[in-house]
Structure 1
């Protein structure tokens, strides 16, 4: 099936391409909310701080499973699992192959093979996977690296090779190529920025959107789905 592409360079052009193609789309509103909320809620500072807080190692935390291993100055939780409900009653689950903290640098948590799930407001499920990540408990900054995939049962998928998340503000920045697949088409860009806790999503640098013919109006403009 032939697809039509739209290319644009620069922040303003990238925003215009995205708005023209997806304005008023329910899936874009879902994307704006789900990208930061899935990352921040599942990998947020309050969870990771509770996980490997050295003062709480001997205390059983509700909803937390995993085995602790101490080797030298490093404390590692093997196969950690955290599950529960958000304040607005949406369930979540977080697992990893390991989560480690070096007592000589206690503010940094190292994560391997990250997997997370969260229920969205419209009862869809968002799944997040990442090969590894580091969380700075002092600054509240989470850095995810390699093979980051965010999928929703609502019909979209986001692929990144890195992401830097401020768990306090909910801002997300990726300075590496990003690909967003939706039922209405596909968008590629060299940079992604999510600000104001998901109210604004920017795509910069080499922005290209590919739309199938059925997503186009008769005049060749992207169709608008209410």
Structure 2
């Protein structure tokens, strides 16, 4: 399976300081380039799989030709031109018989804008290739069927059972182009380190990941984690 490539880009016009040079010469750069360090992003940011399941949920709720198997809905209300469905829940299987479950507190659609679907309080879990699970949370989601874009906002968190997590304020998902981007600060936590950046771009269905802006990374070596400093007697 192809491993994703990783890039870290400084802000435009940022000075090439001596500290930045030392960081490039140090073990951090080598650790980032090592395939073992890059491989974690497949697990740390399974946003593509999770958002694809959200798309299936949206289509299932408002598909005029029939309801998806595994889809359950709560009460339906109509206010003016807007229809709202409470507590939609979708269970199913992705490729390879990997189960998923996605729920929302509510889903709504305005008859005057039939291409727009709004979701609130989205939660879900998706089984990954290693049989672990990715858990996703988002405060709101707006999907446009004409552009095939999903905008997640408010609080976008993705975490895995193995301890990897990604925290974003917003995320824009382009299903047609296989891209996920965030123009606001993002933090990724991994086993033995973390990365913070001003922006994030994921291309080619997760195979190419770019951190942009002020990128701050902390990576602990295996030796440092296995030999923590002794407590001091203050």
Bin of the TM-score, shorter chain as denominator length = 0.7 to 0.9
Is the contact between residue 60 and residue 67 of structure 2 (CA under 8 Å) also seen in structure 1?
no
Question: Which of 113-122 and 65-74 deviates more?
Answer: 65-74
Aligned match of 2:54 in 10, 28, 43?
43
Cα deviation digits, residues 131-160 of structure 1 (max 9, x gap): 111000111100000111000012211000
Aligned match of 1:198 in 197, 206, 231?
206
Aligned match of 1:31 in 37, 40, 44?
44
Is the contact between residue 37 and residue 170 of structure 1 (CA under 8 Å) also seen in structure 2?
no
Cα deviation digits, residues 27-84 of structure 1 (max 9, x gap): 234336x232222x2222x44123113x24xx44311111222222111110000010
Which runs of no fewer than 5 residues in structure 2 stay unpaired?
1-7, 225-234
**What is the TM-score with the length of structure 1 in the denominator?**
0.81
Show structure 1 runs of 4+ deviating over 6 A.
16-19
- Aligned counterparts of 1:131 and 1:73: Cα–Cα separation in 2: 23
SS at match of 1:133: strand
Partner of 1:163: 171
- Aligned counterparts of 1:114 and 1:18: Cα–Cα separation in 2: 36
CA change 1:182–1:215 in 2 (3 A) is: farther
Which runs of no fewer than 5 residues in structure 1 stay unpaired?
1-6, 217-226
Partner of 1:9: 10
Partner of 1:131: 139
| Number of aligned residues | 203
- Aligned counterparts of 1:18 and 1:94: Cα–Cα separation in 2: 37
SS at match of 1:197: helix
Aligned match of 1:72 in 49, 64, 80?
80
- Aligned counterparts of 1:28 and 1:140: Cα–Cα separation in 2: 24
Bigger radius of gyration among the two: 2
CA change 1:120–1:127 in 2 (3 A) is: same
CA change 1:175–1:80 in 2 (3 A) is: same
CA change 1:18–1:91 in 2 (3 A) is: farther
SS at match of 2:129: coil
Cα deviation digits, residues 149-207 of structure 1 (max 9, x gap): 00001221100000000122320010000000001201000000000001101000000
Aligned match of 2:182 in 155, 174, 183?
174
SS at match of 1:37: helix
Partner of 2:103: 95
